[in-house]
Amino acid sequence: MTFGSRVRLAISRNAMGYLFLLPAIVVFALFAWFPIVQTFRLAFVHYQDDNLTMPTHWVGLDNFSHLLTDPTLQPSFGAIWWNTLEFTLLALVFGYIVPITLALLINEVRLGRSFFRVIFYVPVILPTLVGTWVWNKVIFDADPQGFLNNILAWFHIPPQPFITDQTQAMPCVVVFATWAAAGGAMLIYLAALQGIPAHLYEAAEIDGASLWARLWHITLPHIRVVMVIMALLQIIATMQVFAEPYTLTAGGPSGATTTVMVAIYDLAFGGGGNQDWNEAAAFGVLLFLILTFFSILYYVVMRRVARR
With a cut of 70, say whether residue 265 has pLDDT above it: yes
Confidence band for 272, pLDDT divided at 50, 70 and 90: very low
**131 or 55, greater pLDDT:** 131
In terms of domains, do 52 and 76 share one? no
Residue 173: per-residue pLDDT = 93
pLDDT (average), residues 94-113 = 85
In terms of domains, do 60 and 79 share one? no
In terms of domains, do 54 and 149 share one? no
Residue 146: per-residue pLDDT = 81
pTM: 0.84
In terms of domains, do 51 and 83 share one? no
pLDDT (average), residues 194-205 = 84
Number of domains in the chain: 2
| Domain final residue, candidates 66, 97, 119 | 66
Query: HEC string of the chain?
Result: CCHHHHHHHHHHHCHHHHHHHHHHHHHHHHHHHHHHHHHHHHHCEEECCCCCCCCEEECCCHHHHHHHHCCCCCCCHHHHHHHHHHHHHHHHHHHHHHHHHHHHHHHHCCCCHHHHHHHHHHHHHCCHHHHHHHHHHHHCCCCCCCHHHHHHHHCCCCCCCHHHCHHHHHHHHHHHHHHHHHHHHHHHHHHHHHCCCHHHHHHHHHCCCCHHHHHHHHHHHHCHHHHHHHHHHHHHHHCCCCHHHHHHCCCCCCCCCCCHHHHHHHHHHCCCCCCCHHHHHHHHHHHHHHHHHHHHHHHHHHHHHHHC
pLDDT in tens, 144-186: 888 898 898 898 889 889 998 899 999 999 999 999 988 999 9
In terms of domains, do 147 and 9 share one? no
| Domain final residue, candidates 14, 43, 66 | 66
| Domain final residue, candidates 50, 66, 82 | 66
In terms of domains, do 83 and 35 share one? no
In terms of domains, do 52 and 102 share one? no
pLDDT in tens, 51-85: 555 557 777 788 888 888 888 788 889 899 999 99
| Range(s) of the domain holding residue 215 | 69-307
